[in-house]
Every structure is written in C-alpha cells, then in structure tokens.
Amino acid sequence: MGKGAFTGPCGVSGRLRVARAVVCVLVALGAAVPATAEAVTVEKLTCQPNGDSGSDVLGGVETRLTWELQAGPTESLTGLTLELPEGTTYETEDLRLTMLSGDDLMEREFISPQVEEGDNGPALMFPVTPAGRFFRLELYGVVFPASGGSMQCDGTYTLSDGSEHEVAGIPAVSITAVGPFDQFKMWLEEQPWVDAWNSNTFLRLFFNPVLIVSSLPIIFGGFLMSLAIVLVAFPVAMPFGFMFALMRISKSRILRALAAVYVNLIRGTPAFLQIYIAFFGLPLAGINIDNYTLGVIVMAMNSAAYLCEIFRAGIQSIPKGQTEAARSLGMSATQTMVSIIIPQTFRNVIPTLTSEFILLYKDTSLLAAVGVMEILMYAKTIVATTGSITPYVVAALFYLVVTLPLARVVSALEVRLTGATAGTNAAPLGKKPAKSAGTVVPTPPDHIAGL
C-alpha cells in the first residue's frame, strides 16, 4: 500500500485531535492572561487665577482647584483621594463633588461624601456610583507654597470591590512665586484698620496702604531707569558744557556766536518740546535710536546748555589778578587755565553742579510722554489700572529719595566753601578774627543764581 493509504478516515481523525488540542492550549493561555483594566482618565486639573490681572495662579494666595475625571465603562467608584504638594493648605468646608452623566454631561447629581482631611489632601468616601460616570471635585481655600513652581498633584480612586488604584495622567499646575512685597500686601488686605483707613475717600485715593506696597517694587524699576539715564547723561553733559563755556569767553567771534546760538536755543525752548522733536522727528528722518540712548542724548544736550553758563560764571568769578600773576611767572595761557583757573572754577561751582544734577534727575519724568519706562511712566500705568492717585505719591517718594539728600549736600558744600574762602569762623571774645585766605566766592550773576 502506498503513502496515500494514510489519508483515510483514521488520518483525518488524528489531525482533528491535534487541532483540538492546539485550540484548548490557546484558550487556556488566553484565560491565564489577565484582562486589561479600564482605568480612570483625568480630564483636567486646573486652578482659578488669583492675581490682580491675567491668568496667573499665585502662591500664598487662596484659589479654587477643579479636578475632573472620567470612570471606565465598567468601573463603579466609591471613593476618591487627592494628594496636594507638600506645604499646600486647603479647606473642606465648601468642598463640592458633582457626578455628571448623559451624552452631553448635562445631568448632574451632587454627592455629599464623607470627608477625611489628611495632611496632604482630602479623602472622600461615598455610596457606590453607577459605572462610567464623570466626576468633578471642587476644592476651595487651596493655598500653594509662596515659592511657586510646577506643582504636581497625585490621586487614587476606590472601586466597589474595595480595590484602590492610582489615577494616572494628572497634569502639573504652574504656580507663580510671590515675593515679600506681595505677601505683605496680602497681609495688609486682611487687616481691619486698612478697611477703616480706605473708607475715607481722600485717604483711599492718595494714600492707599495696599497700593503703596504693591506699587513700590514696580515703580522701583522706573527708579533704576531714571538713575541710569541721569548718571550717564550728566557726566556726558559736563565736558560739553565746559567746552561751550570756553567758547563763550573766547576771543573768536565765530566761537562765541556758535556757543550763544546753542545756549539760547536750548534754554529758550521747553525740554518737553526738545524731547518730542528728538523722539518723533528723528524716526521720520530715517534715524532710529533706541529709547534709552536717545533719552540720554536729549537730557545731556539740554543740561550742557545750562552747565555752559554755570562754568562760564565760575571762570569769570576768578579774580584777574591771579591770571596776571601766573602770566608774570612765565606761565602760558593754557598753563594758567589748566593749573590756576579750572581747579578753582570746579571748586566754586560744585554746589551749583549738584543743583543742576537734581534738576536733570527730575526732568527725566518728561521722558514718560514718549514711552520711556521711568518712574512716572510706571506710576501712570498703575494709576490707569487702579484709578487711584497713590502710585503718583509713591513716585514722588522715589524722587525725594535722591533730591532731599542732594539738597542737604548742596547746603553743606555752600557753608563749607563760604567758611573756607571768606574766613567766617567766629573768633573768641577779645581776640581779632583770623585773616581771610584772600579768595572770595563771588555771587553768581542773576541768570545763574536762578538755575
């Protein structure tokens, strides 16, 4: 019999037995593999913005946390636990748990869970819910750490069979750090005396304690900008002012005429107009300079005209006898100017130079009209937002921080220079006063005294 004899009924039966065995093995293996569990999915975890503006969530300030999650089609929940980042506080008095259902989640049912407050978050227990429901947890009075950063929350859920599972995929919440000024501001807002103070319209508009504290760090940036402008513009203006002073007293009619035109033109027009011409005229001519550099140039050019008159008065206040004495000793005109005239000139005009520095510092406020972010511009922005005049009062404090000490320096320098040059020290009774050094500080001309 050939090989084809094995294809009879007995052969077919053997093959069926083998196939059945394979199927049984596969079924057994399939039964041994656990079914994939349907896990709760997180729809969102967000916090309500609690800043003065924008969508920032500030640390150290109360906010509302909303946690939404969807149960699997076969999952019936009976408990939820939310773990907040370390250092976070919360309140459960107004806690709300809502169960939503329906195609558009319009069917709502409020659940009154049994709440257990843990160190890191609340644990909620409630009766077994139908499978596949949508849950929304609203937690009020949540205060994240003031240091801010990316805050990660964790959570678990309990099924009807008592098993507990972790909730995966919870997004982190970005918390904005809060500085000492903001923390102090929040403390002020809670004080009863602040409410009593602000109940007076005048005090609320001009001296609101909360606005004073919140404005200080903002306007401080403008204070630094104003200082950056004046501390560069004034040293730049001094050599130009001295050069124009020498031109004003030069024997050359052309140099005197050029200096006179510049000084009269700058001093005869408002600084506000000069700023407008520079900031709006130059761009039209195709000359584009950044605001800070252009602000320094305009302030320096304006101050140089006044410094010219200050230096000219200082030079002309030196007695001619000193020049003649120097020339008789064989010194040239340049040597006389450098060694004799200039040192005494600068010594005599130091108080007036300090006064000009004060005026230039205050004039930086004019740059606010063209968008330079200095003291007044920051204050103006806050006033437009709050409707209170308090930020302008804070801006005035930043001006006084510089001007009052410098004004005292000017007074001290004037007294010291007057006493040193005029010999005003009082002599003891019965004794003759000491002789003067022979150098008298002359009274500056009327047009200089008013600077």
DSSP secondary structure string for all residues of 148-182: -EEE--EEEEEETTS-EEEPP-PPPEEEB---HHH
Tally Cβ neighbours within 10 Å of residue 71.
22
Helix 390-422 with 342-363: angle, nearest 10 deg = 170
Cα(104)–Cα(106) distance, rounded to whole angstroms?
Answer: 5
Cα(164)–Cα(79) distance, rounded to whole angstroms?
Answer: 9
The residue type at 253 = R
Which tokens is 83 given?
A: 């773990």
- DSSP assignment, residue 72? -
What is residue 74's three-state secondary structure?
A: coil
What is residue 121's three-state secondary structure?
A: coil
Helix (H) or strand (E) segment spanning residue 315: helix 291-316
Positions of the chain with pLDDT under 50: 1-12, 23, 25-37, 424-451
Q: How far apart are the first and last CA of the chain?
A: 135
Q: Tell me the average pLDDT of the chain.
A: 84
Q: Are 244 and 263 in contact (CB under 8 A)?
A: yes
| Strand-pair partners of 151 | 173
Question: What's the pLDDT score for residue 181?
Answer: 78
Question: What's the pLDDT score for residue 410?
Answer: 86
Cα(16)–Cα(14) distance, rounded to whole angstroms?
Answer: 5
Phi then psi dihedrals of residue 253, to 5 deg? -70, -35
Question: What's the pLDDT score for residue 440?
Answer: 41
Phi then psi dihedrals of residue 94, to 5 deg? -105, 20
- DSSP assignment, residue 436? P
Q: Are 126 and 97 in contact (CB under 8 A)?
A: yes
Q: Which of 248, 242, 445 is nearest to 345 (CA)?
A: 242
Cα(347)–Cα(338) distance, rounded to whole angstroms?
Answer: 13
Cα(45)–Cα(77) distance, rounded to whole angstroms?
Answer: 19
Residues 6+ apart with CB under 8 A from 383: 389, 391, 392
Cα(58)–Cα(143) distance, rounded to whole angstroms?
Answer: 9
- SS3 of the chain: helix, strand, coil, percent, to 5: 55, 15, 30
Which tokens is 301 given?
A: 């050019």
